[in-house]
């Protein structure tokens, strides 16, 4: 990665106005976890080439990691990105779909991640539990056929229709969606790789929704709703910074399907090692300066403790050395850190939790899959409630899992909870034996209940369209003083 950074800097020295070089430099810096420099590179690429869609998309996505980004700045970046493929004429379409509220609805899911992937860990519980008498389900997969796997095969078995769209243009897919008479089209990707938001900009379905893969606004007027919950997006300010109308589920935003071949839960390593080991398996860009500072406070407060960090970027020796230097600047000696790279198989990855007593979450971008995996392996996770969707999803997951006691409101609370756990070996042993069963019986893993909540939400969206369509965002803001601008789904 250091070589990549140098190569792109050399390209910029040769041709300072080459937008693509600035964009690629931003990607390389992101992989090193250098968020401020990444944002500067993307902004320079956009200044040179205002219609550089990838740079605008990555800028919007990366701002979710930036502690100093305001709600208004995040919203503006997403609106600017969406403006590149916004189609005002698409909003004026007439749809042949019958406006019968109680009929069987056709739902289409669009995703490039319908394989063994973090997205399917949360999509499959809903997909498998859908009421096929009330919903006919289509999957529009932008995954290359060669990359389909056993998870793809399981999903196909649950789908009424599986449509590969990898090699199809956005216009072709939109035309297919219209021919399929889809009632509700659901985006599972947002501004992540392999997503197809341009399809949604063409408004091929009367009701369009975003959920799961991206916990922020798309900025697209053509997407009518974003599904969330009351913890991730509390009522009030959040409604003003979403182009979509927020649908807050009474249950948790996400429902987790544990990996079927997960290894057994191990005993807390402190029992053999004699010292407590904290850990995080989150991606390197989530390790902001504030995160490292807060984790260092915890390590200083627990004598002899260690920290395991497991992330793909630790394959790069110089990137690992730079991370050690960042901790050293906070007074943490390199020998207290164990920096591990990813293993190939998920079983190996999950088995690494046998090295961790207490998992520490990141901010302002929380772990999602990593949090659920840690809990499934019997490891408690400590999070801090943030000020944006990605910073509150940890609180949502822990609340659904019956573990709200591990949610801190600030850095002092995070340190106190972490240190108290480290000093209570009986509690660590108890949690190790009970967390998996507690998760299994909690709303966090209750696919049937979650499917019911989502289907009620879909039905309410459909009923609103049948009644004449949703209000525009501007109209909704005008009426916000007299009614709540969201649907409460029980």
- Residue the block writes with tokens 């790279």: 341
- pLDDT computed for residue 486 by the predictor: 36
The structural domains of the chain, with segments of one domain joined by +, span 2-88, 94-255+448-489, 270-443
First-last CA distance in the chain: 48
Same fold, 94-255+448-489 and 270-443: yes
| Beta bridge partner(s), residue 488 | 248
Please name the helix (run of DSSP H) or strand (run of DSSP E) that holds residue 107, with its range, or none: strand 105-111
CATH architecture of 2-88: Alpha Horseshoe (1.25)
- Residue the block writes with tokens 């972490």: 418
- Residue the block writes with tokens 């499959």: 124
- pLDDT computed for residue 469 by the predictor: 67
- pLDDT computed for residue 87 by the predictor: 78
Distant-in-sequence, close-in-space partners of 11: CB < 8 Å, separation ≥ 6: 18, 21, 24
Say what the alpha-carbon torsion angle 36, 217, 455, 490 is, to the nearest 10 degrees: 90
Q: How far is CA 187 from CA 59, 162, 165, 183, 431, in A?
A: 20, 15, 14, 13, 36
The reply to whether CATH 3.10.450.50 applies to domain 270-443 is: no
Query: Which residues of the chain are modeled with pLDDT < 50?
Result: 471-490
Q: Which class in CATH covers the domain with range 94-255+448-489?
A: alpha beta
Contact 62, 35 (CB under 8 A): yes
Q: How far is CA 184 from CA 29, 121, 391, 458, in A?
A: 38, 22, 28, 8
| CA 53 – CA 44 distance, rounded (Å) | 13
pTM of the model: 0.94
- pLDDT computed for residue 112 by the predictor: 97
């Amino acid at each position: 990665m250091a070589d990549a950074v140098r190569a792109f800097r050399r390209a910029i020295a040769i041709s300072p106005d080459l937008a693509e070089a600035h964009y690629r430099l931003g990607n390389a810096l992101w992989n090193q976890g250098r968020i401020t420099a990444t944002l500067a590179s993307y902004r320079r690429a956009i200044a040179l080439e205002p219609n550089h869609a990838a740079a605008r998309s990555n800028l919007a996505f990366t701002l979710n990691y930036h502690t100093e980004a305001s709600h208004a700045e995040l919203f503006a970046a997403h609106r600017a990105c969406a403006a590149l493929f916004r189609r005002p004429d698409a909003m004026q379409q007439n749809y042949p779909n019958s406006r019968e509220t109680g009929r069987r609805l056709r739902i289409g899911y669009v995703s490039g991640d319908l394989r063994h992937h973090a997205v399917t860990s949360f999509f499959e519980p809903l997909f498998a539990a859908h009421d096929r008498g009330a919903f006919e389900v289509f999957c529009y997969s932008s995954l290359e056929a060669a990359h389909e796997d056993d998870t793809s095969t399981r999903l196909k078995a649950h789908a009424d229709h599986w449509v590969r769209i990898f090699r199809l243009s956005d216009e072709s897919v939109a035309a297919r969606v219209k021919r399929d008479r889809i009632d509700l089209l659901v985006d599972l990707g947002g501004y992540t790789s392999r997503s197809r938001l341009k399809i949604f900009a063409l408004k091929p379905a009367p009701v369009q929704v975003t959920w799961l893969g991206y916990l922020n606004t798309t900025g697209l007027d053509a997407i009518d709703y974003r599904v969330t919950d009351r913890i991730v997006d509390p009522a009030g300010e959040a409604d003003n910074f979403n182009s979509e109308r927020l649908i807050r589920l009474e249950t948790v935003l996400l429902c987790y399907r544990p990996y079927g071949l997960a290894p057994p839960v191990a005993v807390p390593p402190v029992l053999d090692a004699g010292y407590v080991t904290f850990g995080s398996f989150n991606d390197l860009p989530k390790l902001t300066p504030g995160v490292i500072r807060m984790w260092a406070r915890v390590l200083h407060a627990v004598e002899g403790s260690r920290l395991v960090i497991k992330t793909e970027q630790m394959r790069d020796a110089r990137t690992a050395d730079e991370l050690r230097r960042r901790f050293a600047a906070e007074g943490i000696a390199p020998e207290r850190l164990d920096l591990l790279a990813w293993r190939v198989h998920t079983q190996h990855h999950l088995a690494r939790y046998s090295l961790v007593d207490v998992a520490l979450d990141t901010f302002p971008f929380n772990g999602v899959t990593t949090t659920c995996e840690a809990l499934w392996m019997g490891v408690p996770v400590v999070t801090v409630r943030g000020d944006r969707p990605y910073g509150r999803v940890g609180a949502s997951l822990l609340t659904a899992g019956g573990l709200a006691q591990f949610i801190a409101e600030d850095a002092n609370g995070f340190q106190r909870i972490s240190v108290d756990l480290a000093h209570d070996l009986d509690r660590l042993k108890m949690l190790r034996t009970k967390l998996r069963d507690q998760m299994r019986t909690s709303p966090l893993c209750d696919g049937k209940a979650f499917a019911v909540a989502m289907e009620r939400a879909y039905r309410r969206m459909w009923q609103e369209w049948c009644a004449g369509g949703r209000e525009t965002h501007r109209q909704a803001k005008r009426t916000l003083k007299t009614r709540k601008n969201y649907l409460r789904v029980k």
